Amino acid sequence: MADINSAYCACEQLFNPKLRNRPVVVASNNDGCVVARSPEAKALGIKMGVPVFEVRHLQKSHGLEICSSNYALYADMSARFIQTLQELAPEVMPYSIDEAFMDLTGINAAVDLEEFGRTIKETVALYTGLPICVGIAPTPTLAKLANHGAKKYPGTRGVVDLTNRERQRKLLNLTPVEDIWGIGRKLSARLNSAGIRTGLELADAETTWIRKEFSVVVERTVRELNGITCQEMEAVPPTKQQIISSKSFGSPVTELADMLDAVSSYATRAAEKLRGEGQATAHITAFLSTSRFAGVERYSNSAGTPLAHATQDTRVIIQESLNLIRKIWKSGLRYNKAGIMLGDFRAPGNEQEDLFSEVSDSSKDEALMHLMDTINSRNGAGTLKLGRNSGGKGQWALKRRNLSPAYTTRWTDIPKAR
């Protein structure tokens, strides 16, 4: 398994050398909470999920840098990371934006696995500039353990090979049970009460008892820790069953026109994702809500509609989404969130036409959507948009005061050598 170290922070530091070797955190939407920390920030005791305002004082006292989340940059660098792995391993199975499993079957016949792990680490650094750690083992759970050890112990230089049973048991004995993949805090508390405090004690637990007292999922973890593969990783992610596009507003929305503008933007993004999945939607749901905090009138509602024809056309999705929002809108409230959900996916063009409905020229519609996607892909999201859509620049837009440039996805933001 390969994992980018402090991925979001690493992306920010890669293109801004001033951030290197300094404490850096990346904030969530609206610069609300810390969602990523560099090693230097972790050393200051900054916890994941802490509100940003609670760590601002560290900017003056310790030179802390706070970056707004730049998901377009992170997604693009993730794609480059995966592409590099695919050039090195026979099969690559992305697990998250910064992690991927690799099938190394047969590799050890030609090269030492630890040496191959170092080749992976060095090649990713050369091709993308990203620092990674590599964990090698017989099962996904042990591979995660190996990766954990590669991060935690500097002496490994970022690569751990756990194909040896003795090395597995040694690292398991050093690892608290809550650090085992799939266990977590709540489950580890129950395991601790049962006398299981380390990964090794979990691996040595009787599987029948584990299934009875906990679950079949924990039993599978025990078997994986003993080298028996129970989790088949998918080389191709399963097709999505729904797409949700939703964000909290930067400022409360009180006017219907602003709400329609925001939902139009979310519908546009959802339609782009839908086309990226190669699907068409036959059902749209829209929703909105006020703040959950005390002192604000609470209101939350949603509405959905089936479509006569499955579509991936942004214009249709926007129109239907706005009609739904108008139905559930209540004046005089301060809304803090809205969004849409696309469902009932179908393959484009694979359905019976309705004889009584107006027939559009689907080939021209598809060509128009393809042109929009191509232009926006080349020049940055929002370059070409429909009339109502402000492109996320309304009062409702996310607060991202410290947003870095789109270094890899917008021509005007590409770093220039001086």
Taking alpha carbons only, the member of 340, 323, 338 closest to residue 273 is: 340
The string of pLDDT tens digits covering residues 141-181 is: 999 999 999 999 999 999 999 999 999 999 999 999 999 99
* Residue 278, pLDDT score: 87
Domain holding 120: CATH number? 3.30.70.270
- Whether residue 263 lies inside any domain: the answer is yes
Do 234 and 255 have their domain in common? no
163, 179, 211 - which closes a domain: 163
Do 156 and 58 have their domain in common? yes
Do 155 and 197 have their domain in common? no
Residue range of the domain that includes 216:
166-238
217, 238, 259 - which closes a domain: 238
Whether 301 shows a pLDDT value over 70: the answer reads: yes
* Residue 362, pLDDT score: 67
The string of pLDDT tens digits covering residues 234-279 is: 655 566 688 988 888 878 899 999 999 999 989 999 999 998 888 8
163, 198, 215 - which closes a domain: 163
Q: List the structure tokens of 295.
A: 């002192």
The string of pLDDT tens digits covering residues 340-370 is: 999 988 887 655 555 555 555 566 777 777 7
What are the two backbone dihedrals, phi and then psi, of residue 13, each rounded to the nearest 5 degrees? -70, -30
pTM, whole model, 2 decimals? 0.73
**145 in Cβ contact with 171 (< 8 Å):** yes
* Residue 77, pLDDT score: 92
- Whether residue 409 lies inside any domain: the answer is no
Give the 3-state DSSP-derived string for 377-410, with helices as H, strands as E and coil as C. Answer: HHHCCCCCCCCCCCCCCCCCCCCCCCCCCCCCCC
Which carries the bigger pLDDT value, residue 297 or residue 86? 86
Do 31 and 75 have their domain in common? yes
Helix (H) or strand (E) holding 76: helix 71-86
Do 158 and 224 have their domain in common? no
Burial 386-417 (b: 16+ CB within 10 A, else e): eebbbbbebebbbbbebbbebbbbbeeeeeee
Do 8 and 146 have their domain in common? yes
Domain holding 322: CATH number? 3.30.1490.100
Do 3 and 127 have their domain in common? yes
